[in-house]
Structure 1
Amino acid sequence: MLTAQKRKFALALMSGMSKKDAAIEAGYSEKSARSKGSQLAKDPEVIAFTERKKNEVIEVDDVPAYRKNVNTPADNVYTPTVNTSEERGDVGRYYEDPIEYLKAVMNGVEPDDMGRRDAAKAMLPYTHPKKGEGGKKDAKQAAAKAVASKFAGMAPPQLVVNNGKQ
């Protein structure tokens, strides 16, 4: 899986930086940047990502509309304009659950925005823990609770007072 740091490294390397400078730009330590840059340049995921980006076709408008962001080869980073949801017309396209957003991206309902996708991935462990992530102690406690509920004794009878009447 291509991590955010590897993606930053690959993009910096494609922009013409040296391996060492690209590693520093990606957030690696300056002391280990030289060896890490050499290591990442040989990583199959980074190589595949750079090949995919090199083969990517960029469409350029001949006459740009007034005050509209245009994706040109010189500026390969798309930065959308920030408007309110009413101006964009996509009311109801905000997801409380990161899994719902990732499912929408997977099914093609939402456009694939790398920043939003990475934020949703980073938020997943806080809302949906992995199965078996608790550890040995938590597993033992859960097993003990399951066994205890099977063999639990009967609840004691409730005492009701009827104003001296029986």
Structure 2
Amino acid sequence: MALTDKKRRFADALQSGATNREAAIAAGYSEKTASQAGSKLARDPDVIAAIGRKLRAKTATPAEVKTARKVNSPPEAASADDGLVFAEFDDPRDFLTAVMNEQSAEPRLRVDAAKALMPYMHGKVADQGKKEARQDAAKEVGKGRYAQGKPPLSVVKG
């Protein structure tokens, strides 16, 4: 499943040093069920991956951070402090390719980038139009034995 807002807040609270119960309460879970929710969320693969991404972003070398600028992803896909770092791009196709291939990016963001990149790489079958497709099919059928014959020679009197 995707990293929800509560899971993201839980991961942030864990990174700040809170216990599982305190992090669950900070994420918005009830105090009565915070222990169970914290235990469950601590084992969630999405939360573990989010914490791992943040740790990798913190351990980035200063040279990498200086040469690239931080790009904020859409709010529903990733938080503004997610730590995604991409180089500046002039071409949207290059940017989408970089987002799609970024291993530290959230999987949902990578899938959205791949979906947005599809029209750039692969045209739709319906783009050629129905009439053109029928004409092409008719040309293919009309070849060979059943092809149209040569027109008659014109007679020139002179």
Interval containing the TM-score (normalised by the shorter chain): 0.3 to 0.5
Question: Which one has the largest radius of gyration?
Answer: 2
TM-score (norm 1): 0.35
Scaled by the length of structure 2, the TM-score of the pair is 0.36
Task: Identify the structure with the greater helix proportion.
Answer: 2
Larger RCO of the pair (alpha carbons < 8 Å, separation 6+)? 2
